[in-house]
Amino acid sequence: MKTNLTVLCLIVILMTGANLAAETIRWIPAAASNDGAFGTRWTTTLWIHSLATDAEISVFASFYPDQGGVAEPEEIAINAPPGQPVEISDVVMEVFGISRAGAIRLRSEHPFEARSRTANDGGAGGSFGQGIPALDPDEALPFGALLGAANTPGDDGVRTNLGVVNPGDMDAPLAVFIWKYGPTGELEYMGFKQFVVGAHGWTQENLFGLVGDEDEFIENAWVVVSADNNPDQPENRVFSYLSRIDNRSGDATYIEPFLNPVYWVEPESVDVRYSVSAPVGLSLYSVSHPDDGGETVTVFEPSSDWSADGLAVLGQTVCLQVTAKVESGGSDSLEACIEGRLGAATESTCNRCDGDPGDLCQFETCRFIY
């Protein structure tokens, strides 16, 4: 009787574990079936291997070709026999029926693994490909560093593309910083680009084109992709990668990021200036801004034209919170500005205070310092 009870408990535990098995999700961050630069033609081969041993499973594939993201993409089932691999050549065309580049999301209620290879058809010279992994959502990073970028303009040169996938359900504001190594090994800051990749969105761009240097000779550069710039949102995480391509052969190398929560160089402190201008009919009640140490300082009842100087760290978002009181009826403009250096122009946010005398209006303006 004791033995039978033990066996029964074991069966219940196994059945419960099977019912509670977590869904498996994998992302292929880059896939294509289209023409590229310098006469290349790119296609992706996908391999799926079921880890189930007793029955065929369905893996649902969806394609994400747009930076803005696709809210409810079509899912197409790929059947995988137990314990065996499935190979799909030119998966973007064969499964999704389109000629585009993008990212692929794979989902199943059963465990599986996947791999991919995106290659240029070199004709009689064969194919030139790059292996691209299938990534677990937990492998997405808030700060990713990428090494080995280079740029040599011309048919016999080298180009580097930057790709980003946002696997999350919220838009991801990104900041991309690029440094190059000078002839004597010194690190030179090249520039910065900020853009948004929508939920489940994908984008791939010429890396140095982001900062207007696609025609410059660059032997060695490195990149930081920051997805954690908005203090009002939870931490964002993205997949990022570099694809370094030989223009002569179309041979490509896939470069994965590593977690880099701080810059390799000491973050530069830059001067910022906060200012608020209140016209007749409005009086300032309070202004809050970060001090040099990053702590929030609040000034109560400042003058109608208020300003202050501060320090911010390159790559930091600083915010100015303003509360004003309506002294007379009607609507008036209240202008709050944050100005940074490094060639950045003044950015202003103007709000209108609508209300009756005695009413308060509140708003916030933020700026990413670069």
pLDDT tens-place string over residues 267-320:
567 778 888 888 777 888 888 888 777 788 899 888 888 888 888 766 667 888
Please state, in angstroms and as integers, the Cα–Cα distance from residue 254 to each residue in 6, 87, 318, following that order. Answer: 52, 21, 35
* Closest to 234 in 3D by CA, of 313, 152, 146, 169: 169
d(CA 176, CA 223): 7
pLDDT of residue 216 exceeding 60, the answer is yes
pLDDT of residue 92 exceeding 80, the answer is yes
pLDDT of residue 131 exceeding 80, the answer is yes
- Residue 1 confidence (pLDDT): 45
For the sheet with 330-340, list strands across it. 305-313, 269-277, 330-340, 347-355
d(CA 157, CA 216): 11
- Residue 62 confidence (pLDDT): 95
Domains of the chain in start order, with CATH, are: 24-259 (no CATH), 269-368 (2.60.40)
For 218-262, what is each residue's pLDDT tens digit? 999 989 998 865 544 557 899 999 999 999 888 999 999 988 755
- Residue 344 confidence (pLDDT): 42
**What mean pLDDT, rounded, does the chain reach?**
82
- Residue 15 confidence (pLDDT): 46
- Residue 99 confidence (pLDDT): 94
| Token pair in block for residue 25 | 């999700």
Helix (H, G, I), strand (E, B) or coil at 251: coil
pLDDT of residue 178 exceeding 70, the answer is yes
Q: Which residues on adjacent β-strands are paired with residue 344?
A: none
- Residue 307 confidence (pLDDT): 87
| 211 φ/ψ angles, rounded to the nearest 5 degrees | -115, 15
- Residue 19 confidence (pLDDT): 42
Longest Cα–Cα distance of the chain, Å, equals: 90
Instruction: State mean pLDDT over 321-347.
Output: 68
d(CA 177, CA 301): 39
- Residue 253 confidence (pLDDT): 94
Dihedral over alpha carbons 256, 259, 265, 270 (to 10 degrees):
110
- Residue 207 confidence (pLDDT): 95
Q: Do 254 and 115 form a contact (C-beta atoms < 8 A)? A: no
* Closest to 218 in 3D by CA, of 176, 259, 179: 179
pLDDT of residue 265 exceeding 60, the answer is no
How would residue 166 be classed by pLDDT, with cut points 50, 70 and 90? very high
- 321's enclosing H/E stretch is strand 317-326
- Residue 274 confidence (pLDDT): 86
Q: Do 348 and 338 form a contact (C-beta atoms < 8 A)? A: no
* Closest to 23 in 3D by CA, of 141, 142, 105: 105
